[in-house]
Amino acid sequence: MLLGHRAPLPPSCHEPERIGATLGASGTSVGSPAPRVLRVFTLAGDCVLEKTYQEMRPSSQIAEVIHMLCQKMDLKPCRLQLLDGRRRLQPHHALKSIWTSGSDLELQVVVVPGPSLDLERDLTLSNPEVLEVRHWQRTVAVRIRPARLLESLAEEVKLHHRVTLSSPRIFGKVHSSSADMEEMVLNTAPVDDSGPGCDLVLELDEGFYGGLDTGFRSLKMYYGVLTLDYWATGEFHAYLGGGVRQNEVCHCMDVAGFLQESLAFVFLWTSDLLRTVCAMWLVGSMLHEGLVEQFFLLLTLWLPGFVWALRFQLYFSKQQWSSFCWPTLRCALLWLSGLWWIWTPNALILASLVSPIYFSYKLLLLLTHFLRPFAEPPSFPVNPDLFSLYELYMRDTCIFGDALRVFLLLFWLLGHVTGQKVLPYLSLLSSLGSLLIASLPYRRRMRAEAWSYFQDFLMANEEEEELVNAA
C-alpha cells in the first residue's frame, strides 16, 4: 500500500476554471507563465499542502516540508514519510535535488503507525566491552563487543560506537585518533553477546607520535587512554540513549619493540654515567698535579652546566620580558648569588649521576610489571620534562666537556705530562666513546626531539604561566 499508485485526483486540484480563478484572484495576469507549485497528496488523493516555488526557499530540506505537514495534519514527524513516486525521501535531502525542472512537483505523504519509543526516557542498552587491542606500526585494531538493545522495538534504531585513542596526558598536548562504527538494528528478541565481537581500526597520525618520539613509541601506546563511546539514534531523533566507557590506559604494547627501546635507553644512560664517573675520577686523581692541569679538568666539568644555565636563562628572559631594566637587575642578582656559575653547574653534575640511575630504575619497575600482569601498572617511567632537560645537558657535555677533555688528554699524553698513570687513558677512551655514541643517528634524533620539546612545550608553558600571573 505504501508504494502503490495514487488514487485519481479530485476535481478541486486540477480544474482549469478554479486555477484561472485562483490566478486572477492572486493578481497574476493570464499571459504570464504559471508559477511552479509543490503539491503533497495523501494516498486517498487529498491535497494537503500546496506551496509555490517562491514560497519555498531554495535551500529547504525535506524535513521542512514534513514540519509543514505536521502542522496541517496534527501528527508527529516520526509518523510521516514522503514519497517521490516509489522512492522514499530522507529528511536531510535538499528539496532542490528533486525539484530541478520547470514543472510542478507532486509528492505523496504516507502515515505510518506511531512509534513504540517513549521519548521521555533513554533506551536500555547493554554496556559494550573492549576485548582486545592489537598494534602494528601506525595501525591499532580494537576488538569490541558492541552494545545491544535490551528491549523490544517495532522500528529501526541505529547503534553507534566510537573508539578514541589519546596520547598520554603527561606529554602536555593530547592528540587523538578515532574510528566509528554504526549498524541498523531491529531488535525484537534478546541478543546473544557471546560472539567474537567486531574490529574497529584506527590509523595513528603524526600528532600521536609528535614531540618526543624516539624511544617513546611503545610507552605512548601502553599508556595511551582508550575511550569507547556508544549511543543509539532514530530516524528523527539524534539521541535515544548511550554512554561512555573510558579505560585509564590502553595496555597495548609491542613487547619486542619496548625491550629494544629499553635496552637502547639503558645503554645510553650507562655510557653517560660512566663518562661522568671517569671525568670526576680523573679530576680527583690530578689534585696533586699542576694547577694548570687541575684548572682545565675542572673547566671540562663546570663549563657544560654553565652553558646550559646561561642558555636557559637567556631563552627564558627573551620569552618573558621586553623591558631592559628588570632583566638587568635580575641578572645582576643571579650573578651575585652564584646561581648561574656555582650552584646550577654543580647541581647538574650531580643530576648527571642520579638521573640515569633513576630512569633505569623506573624502567625496571615497568619490566617487572610484565611478570605480574594483574598488578597495578606503575606510573609513566620517564618524565618528558626531566628527560628533555637531561638530554640538553648531555648534548652540552659532549660539546663543551668531552671534546675539550679529549683535546687536553691527547696533548698531555703526547707530552708525557701525566706520567705513567692508566686513568687518563681510561678517561680518554670514555670521552671518545661518548662522542662516538653522541654521533649515532638514534641519539642525534633523540636530542633534536628533546630540543624541540623544550622550545615548543616547556618554554611555552613558562610563558603562559607568566602571563597568567601578570594578569
pLDDT digits 0-9 by tens, 384-406: 889 999 999 999 999 998 998 88
Same domain, 305 and 392: yes
Residue 122 lies in a domain: no
Residue 156: CATH number of its domain: 2.60.40
For residue 237, tell me if it sits in a domain: yes
What are the DSSP E strand ranges found in 100-150?
Answer: 105-111, 129-136, 139-145
Judgement on whether residues 299 and 336 belong to the same structural domain of the protein: yes
- 204 & 326 share domain: no
- Residue 166, pLDDT score: 85
Is the domain of 214 the same as that of 278? no
Residue 10 is predicted with a pLDDT of 46
Task: State how many domains the chain has.
Answer: 3
Rounded CA separation 237/226 (Å):
28
Given 218, 246, 274, the domain boundary residue is 246
Start-to-end CA distance of the chain, whole Å, equals 70
Same domain, residue pair 325 and 403: yes
Specify the pLDDT at position 465. Answer: 54
Residue 242 pairs with which residues in a beta bridge? Answer: 231
Domain match, 241 and 262 both: no
> Is 101 within 8 Å of 131 (Cβ atoms)?
no
Quick: pLDDT tens for 102-161.
778 888 998 876 555 555 566 777 788 888 888 877 788 888 888 887 776 666 788 888
Is position 289 within any domain? Answer: yes
> Is 169 a member of any domain?
yes
What per-residue confidence (pLDDT) applies to 114? 59
Are 353 and 454 found together in one domain?
A: yes
Whether residues 347 and 442 share a domain: the answer is yes
Range of the domain at 73: 11-111
Residues facing 199 on adjacent strands: 143
Neighbours of 128 (CB within 10 A): 22
Angle of the 423-438 helix axis to the 384-397 helix axis, nearest 10 = 120
pLDDT tens-place string over residues 273-293: 988 888 888 888 777 767 777
* Any domain includes 2: no
pLDDT at 418: 57
Residues 22 and 45 in one domain: yes
* pTM of the full structure: 0.65
**pLDDT at 74 (0 to 100):** 81
Is the residue at 6 inside a domain? Answer: no
Same domain, 292 and 404: yes
How far is Cα 35 from Cα 53, in angstroms, rounded to an integer? 7
- The pLDDT of residue 461 is 62
pLDDT per residue rounded down to tens, the chain (471 residues): 333 444 444 444 444 444 344 444 344 444 456 678 888 998 888 899 888 887 876 557 787 888 888 888 887 776 788 888 878 888 777 787 788 767 788 889 988 765 555 555 667 777 888 888 888 777 888 888 888 877 766 667 888 888 888 888 888 777 777 888 887 765 544 455 556 678 888 888 777 777 788 888 888 888 888 888 888 887 656 666 777 776 656 667 677 888 888 899 999 999 999 888 888 888 887 777 677 778 888 889 999 999 998 887 777 665 544 444 455 666 677 677 777 788 889 999 999 999 999 999 998 888 888 777 666 778 888 888 899 999 999 999 999 989 988 888 888 877 665 555 677 788 888 889 888 998 999 999 999 988 888 887 777 665 555 544 544
What would you report as the CA-atom Rg of the chain, rounded to the nearest whole angstrom? Answer: 37
Q: What pLDDT was estimated at residue 95?
A: 80
| Residue type present at position 190 | P
308, three cell numbers: 646550559
Phi, psi torsion values for 208, nearest 5 degrees: -65, -35
Select from 111, 137, 164 the last residue of a domain. Answer: 111
Same domain (yes/no): 242, 267: no
pLDDT at 8: 46
Domain C-terminal end among 246, 281, 299: 246
Task: Measure the CA–CA gap between 395 and 145, rounded to whole angstroms.
Answer: 49
Do 375 and 462 belong to one domain? yes
In a domain, 120, yes or no: no
Cβ neighbours, 10 Å, residue 403: 16
**Angle at the Cα of 351 from the Cα atoms of 350 and 357, rounded to 5 degrees:** 105
Q: Side chain identity at 156, as an amino acid letter?
A: E
Residue 277 forms part of a structural domain: yes
